[in-house]
Structure 1
Amino acid sequence: AKPKGEDTKNKLPEIVAIKGLHTRNAAARAGDFISSNELFNKTDKLIDWATKSNMASVLTDCPHREKLGWLEQSHLMISSIMYNYDVATLGNKVVDDIISSQLENGLIPEIAPEYIFFTWGGDMFRDSPEWGSTGIILPWYLYKWYGNKEVIEKAYPTMQRYITYLQTRADKNILKQGLGDWYDIGPERPGVSQQTTMGVTGTAIYYYNLQILQNIATMLAKPQDAAKYKKLADEVKVAFNKTFFNPKTKQYATGIQAANAMAIYMKLVEPEHRQAVLENLIKDIRDRNNALTAGDIGYRYVLRVLEEAGRSDVIYDMNSRSDVPGYGYQLAKGATALTESWQALPAVSNNHLMLGHLMEWFYSGLAGIRADEDAVAFDKIKIYPEPVGDVTSAKATYNSSYGLISSDWKIVDDVFELQIEIPANTTATIYLPSASGQTVTEGGKSVPSQTKDGRYIVKTGSGKYHFKVQ
Structure 2
Amino acid sequence: MPQIYKYICKSDQLESWEPKFSYHGFRYAKIKGVTSKPDADMIKAVLVATDIQETGSFTSSDVLLNKMHNISKWTIVDNLHGIPEDCPHREKCGWLGDAHAFCEYALYNYDMYDFYKKYMEDIRTQMRPTKGHNNPEQKFQVPTMIAPGKRTSTYAKIDWGVAFMYLPWYNYKFYGDDALVKEYYDDMKNLTDFYLNFKDENGIMQDGMGDWCPPLWDRRKNPSAMECDPIISANAYFYDVLNIMETFAKINNDAVYEARMKKEKEALKKAFNHEFLVSIPKTKYKWYQSQTATVQALQFNMVQEKDIENVVNGLVHDIVEVKGGHHSTGIHGNRYIYTVLSKHKKADLAYQILTTPDFPSQTYVMNSGFTTWPERQFEWEKMEGPTNSLNHPMHSGFAAYFYESLGGIESSESHSGYKLFTVDPEFPREITNTEVDVPTPYGSIRNKWSINNGLLNMRLEVPFNTKAKVILTTDELESLSINSNLLEDYRSENTLDIIDGAVILGSGDYQIEYLKSF
- TM score, norm. by length of structure 1: 0.88
Instruction: Choose from 236, 245, 249 the match for 2:268.
Output: 236
Q: Which range is displaced more, 302-311 or 415-424?
A: 302-311
Alignment CA distance shift 1:152-1:51 (3 Å): same
Matches within 5 A, 1:185-334: 185=215, 194-246=226-278, 251-253=286-288, 255-287=289-321, 288-334=323-369
SS at match of 1:386: coil
SS at match of 1:385: coil
> 1 CA distance for matches of 2:217 and 2:41?
50
Match for 1:164: what amino acid?
Answer: D
Corresponding residue for 2:87? 62
SS at match of 1:399: strand
Q: Which range is displaced more, 181-190 or 255-264?
A: 181-190
Instruction: Choose from 35, 40, 47 the match for 2:65.
Output: 40
Displacement of 1:423 in angstroms is 0.2
Alignment CA distance shift 1:226-1:247 (3 Å): farther
Corresponding residue for 2:50? 25
Q: Is the 8 A contact 1:214 1:226 kept in 2?
A: yes
> 2 CA distance for matches of 1:349 and 1:302?
23
SS at match of 2:450: strand
Displacement of 1:86 in angstroms is 0.9
Asked if residue 420 in structure 1 is aligned to residue 450 in structure 2, the reply is no
> 2 CA distance for matches of 1:24 and 1:58?
10
Structure 1 unaligned residues grouped into runs of 5+ = 9-14
Corresponding residue for 1:11? none
Corresponding residue for 2:393? 353
Offset from partner CA, 1:262-313 (integer Å, 9 cap, x none)? 2222333333222221221122112123200010122223234223323322
Corresponding residue for 1:151? 180
Alignment CA distance shift 1:19-1:202 (3 Å): same
> 1 CA distance for matches of 2:32 and 2:319?
61
Offset from partner CA, 1:114-153 (integer Å, 9 cap, x none)? 43034xxxx4xx4321101111121111111111211001
Alignment CA distance shift 1:17-1:258 (3 Å): same
Corresponding residue for 1:381? 421
Q: Is the 8 A contact 1:182 1:193 kept in 2?
A: no
Q: CA RMSD in A?
A: 3.0
* Equivalent pairs, count: 453
Corresponding residue for 1:184? 214
Alignment CA distance shift 1:469-1:56 (3 Å): same
Displacement of 1:456 in angstroms is 8.1
> 1 CA distance for matches of 2:85 and 2:12?
38
Q: Which range is displaced more, 358-367 or 98-107?
A: 98-107
Alignment CA distance shift 1:373-1:127 (3 Å): closer
Q: Is the 8 A contact 1:69 1:112 kept in 2?
A: yes
Asked if residue 71 in structure 1 is aligned to residue 96 in structure 2, the reply is yes
Q: Is the 8 A contact 2:450 2:458 kept in 1?
A: yes
Corresponding residue for 2:166? 137
Identity of aligned residues (%): 25
Alignment CA distance shift 1:191-1:158 (3 Å): farther
Match for 2:271: what amino acid?
Answer: A
Corresponding residue for 1:12? none
> 1 CA distance for matches of 2:457 and 2:32?
62
Displacement of 1:466 in angstroms is 1.8
> 2 CA distance for matches of 1:322 and 1:176?
38
Matches within 5 A, 1:434-453: 439-448=479-488
Offset from partner CA, 1:417-444 (integer Å, 9 cap, x none)? 2111110001112246896898433333
Displacement of 1:7 in angstroms is 13
> 1 CA distance for matches of 2:99 and 2:196?
23
> 1 CA distance for matches of 2:225 and 2:300?
19
Q: Is the 8 A contact 2:477 2:501 kept in 1?
A: no
> 1 CA distance for matches of 2:92 and 2:273?
38
Displacement of 1:408 in angstroms is 0.7
Displacement of 1:74 in angstroms is 2.2
Q: Which range is displaced more, 327-336 or 93-102?
A: 93-102
> 2 CA distance for matches of 1:364 and 1:104?
39
Offset from partner CA, 1:304-356 (integer Å, 9 cap, x none)? 42233233222112112221212101100000111112337531211110122
Displacement of 1:70 in angstroms is 0.8
> 2 CA distance for matches of 1:16 and 1:269?
58
> 2 CA distance for matches of 1:291 and 1:339?
18
Corresponding residue for 1:81? 106
Displacement of 1:186 in angstroms is 5.2
Asked if residue 163 in structure 1 is aligned to residue 192 in structure 2, the reply is yes
- TM score, norm. by length of structure 2: 0.80
SS at match of 2:108: helix
Asked if residue 51 in structure 1 is aligned to residue 76 in structure 2, the reply is yes
Asked if residue 398 in structure 1 is aligned to residue 438 in structure 2, the reply is yes
Displacement of 1:216 in angstroms is 1.0
> 2 CA distance for matches of 1:353 and 1:374?
29
Q: Is the 8 A contact 1:420 1:465 kept in 2?
A: yes
> 1 CA distance for matches of 2:64 and 2:356?
8
Instruction: Choose from 361, 369, 372 the match for 1:337.
Output: 372
Instruction: Choose from 103, 107, 110 the match for 2:145.
Output: 110
> 2 CA distance for matches of 1:165 and 1:116?
22
Match for 2:440: what amino acid?
Answer: S
Alignment CA distance shift 1:7-1:314 (3 Å): closer
Displacement of 1:251 in angstroms is 3.8
Q: Which range is displaced more, 44-53 or 94-103?
A: 94-103
Displacement of 1:59 in angstroms is 0.6
Q: Is the 8 A contact 2:343 2:426 kept in 1?
A: no
> 2 CA distance for matches of 1:339 and 1:141?
25
Corresponding residue for 2:507? 462
SS at match of 2:510: strand
Offset from partner CA, 1:212-257 (integer Å, 9 cap, x none)? 111111221111111222233333333323322236866455x210
Q: Is the 8 A contact 1:429 1:459 kept in 2?
A: yes
Asked if residue 96 in structure 1 is aligned to residue 121 in structure 2, the reply is yes
Match for 1:110: what amino acid?
Answer: M
Structure 2 unaligned residues grouped into runs of 5+ = 1-7, 14-30, 34-39, 131-140, 381-385, 492-499
Alignment CA distance shift 1:302-1:182 (3 Å): same
> 1 CA distance for matches of 2:69 and 2:428?
17
